[in-house]
């Protein structure tokens, strides 16, 4: 039935109209937005007085305010809530974190859980349909990443009284075959080179016909910086007289931006061999620019393709390491981040204090302890013997 033409009255949300019998009647019309931002309305007509309509609306609001919230929350799907969570958090994240969260939502959470009502999703269903299903084809770390995003979204739902509690916080994730693999050859699975392999890499790459390859590998290997930090370096960030590099930005396929954390912003000292290499590379860069009629500026990127003068791409370092491994220069393949791990591992193994290592690589001491504990095993053995040598 079509609504009659309504006229506002002096009472909020109360309207008058003339019915088909030409009698004056009243209606209430209450507009609101649900938790998904959709506009909704409560409407009822047929009241004999504006007072009757107002009392009915007040009673309805009083009785159903919490009920409406429960009904709305009960109908929210996982897909809808993940969108709400993402929108509420995205401005707090770095670009890379935002992209990772979006990937987890679009690739894993929505396809496997999106159609479930958030309030109806239970622990066993979540484990079977999401965790166990992902573990069939994805690594434990990938599954843990997706799980952590979902947990954070559920925690937001609890804080906003959309859910009474987080049913999934006690979930543990493991993959039996990965445990066995690590127990068989734990060190070989770790993403770092031992001292011998790293020496071979540095000696081999120093003879490369492309000086950019030499410069970038040596810089990462001797400073422990991330590949994105190396790609973001400009000549103004390097003081070859003082022997320091100022690290405060990162660059990848998403562009250049401020370093990920406060700890990542740092000044690192570099030793003389690397200083000499970078000075030679700087002269080579200037020479190549002049050949193409391009003037050198202090704001230019450090690591460039010497033929095109373009800054190095995101896969530049990875391609070098793949090539070196295929030529059997090193005994195993490591990722670009593995050079950073190699640097920190060697420093820890040589007894450099953990807070010092953390400051140099731009991490926290706790992170260094977690990721580089394997390099401290020999030092632990030495420490056990110290007291007996002193006292006995």
Residues 178-189: pLDDT tens digits? 444 444 334 445
Residues 121-152: pLDDT tens digits? 999 999 999 999 999 888 888 999 999 999 99
Please say if the pLDDT value at position 71 is more than 50: no
Calculate the average pLDDT of the chain. Answer: 86
CATH of domain 78-184: 1.10.150.130
Q: Could you tell me the fold of the domain covering 189-384?
A: hpI Integrase; Chain A (1.10.443)
Query: What are 374's two structure tokens?
Result: 């394997």
- The residue ranges of every structural domain in the chain are 7-75, 78-184, 189-384
Q: How far is CA 163 from CA 112, 120, 186, 291, in A?
A: 20, 10, 41, 66
**pLDDT band at residue 50 using 50, 70 and 90 as cut-offs:** very high
Contacts of 15 (CB under 8 A, 6+ apart): 6, 7, 8, 9, 26, 27, 28, 29
Residues 260-276: pLDDT tens digits? 788 899 999 999 999 99
Contacts of 156 (CB under 8 A, 6+ apart): 84, 85, 88, 89
Q: How far is CA 198 from CA 25, 222, 335, 340, in A?
A: 88, 11, 13, 11
Please say if the pLDDT value at position 390 is more than 90: no
Residues 151-167: pLDDT tens digits? 999 998 888 778 889 99
């Amino acid at each position: 039935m079509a609504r009659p033409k309504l006229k506002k009255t002096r009472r909020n949300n109360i309207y008058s109209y003339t019915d088909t019998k030409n009698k004056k009647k009243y209606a209430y019309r209450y507009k609101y937005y649900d938790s998904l931002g959709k506009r909704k309305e409560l409407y009822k007509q047929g009241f004999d007085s504006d007072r009757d309509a107002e009392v009915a609306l007040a009673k309805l609001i009083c009785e159903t305010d919490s009920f409406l919230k429960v009904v709305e929350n009960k109908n929210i799907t996982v897909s809808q809530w993940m969108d709400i969570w993402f929108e509420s958090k995205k401005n707090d994240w770095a670009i890379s974190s935002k992209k990772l969260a979006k990937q987890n939502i679009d690739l894993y959470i929505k396809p496997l859980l999106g159609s479930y009502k958030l309030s109806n999703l239970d622990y066993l269903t979540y484990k079977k349909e999401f965790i166990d299903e992902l573990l069939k084809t994805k690594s434990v770390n990938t599954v843990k990443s997706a799980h952590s995003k979902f947990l954070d979204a559920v925690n937001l739902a609890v804080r906003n009284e959309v859910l009474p509690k987080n049913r999934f916080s006690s979930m543990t994730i493991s993959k039996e075959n990965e445990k066995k693999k690590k127990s068989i050859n734990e060190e070989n699975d770790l993403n770092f080179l031992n001292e011998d392999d790293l020496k071979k890499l540095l000696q081999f790459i120093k003879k490369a016909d492309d000086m950019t390859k030499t410069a970038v590998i040596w810089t990462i290997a001797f400073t422990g910086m991330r590949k994105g930090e190396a790609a973001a370096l400009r000549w103004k960030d390097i003081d070859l007289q003082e022997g320091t590099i100022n690290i405060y930005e990162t660059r990848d396929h998403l562009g250049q931006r401020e370093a990920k954390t406060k700890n990542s912003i740092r000044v690192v000292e570099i030793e003389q061999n690397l200083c000499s290499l970078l000075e030679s590379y700087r002269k080579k860069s200037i020479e190549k620019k002049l050949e193409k009629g391009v003037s050198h500026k202090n704001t230019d990127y450090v690591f460039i393709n010497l033929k095109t003068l373009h800054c190095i791409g995101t896969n530049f370092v990875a391609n070098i390491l793949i090539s070196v491994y295929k030529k059997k220069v090193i005994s195993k393949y490591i990722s670009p981040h593995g050079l950073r791990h190699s640097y920190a591992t060697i420093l820890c193994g040589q007894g450099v204090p953990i807070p010092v290592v953390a400051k140099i690589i731009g991490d926290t001491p706790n992170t260094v302890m977690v990721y580089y504990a394997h390099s401290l095993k020999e030092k632990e053995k030495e420490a056990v013997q110290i007291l007996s040598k002193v006292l006995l």
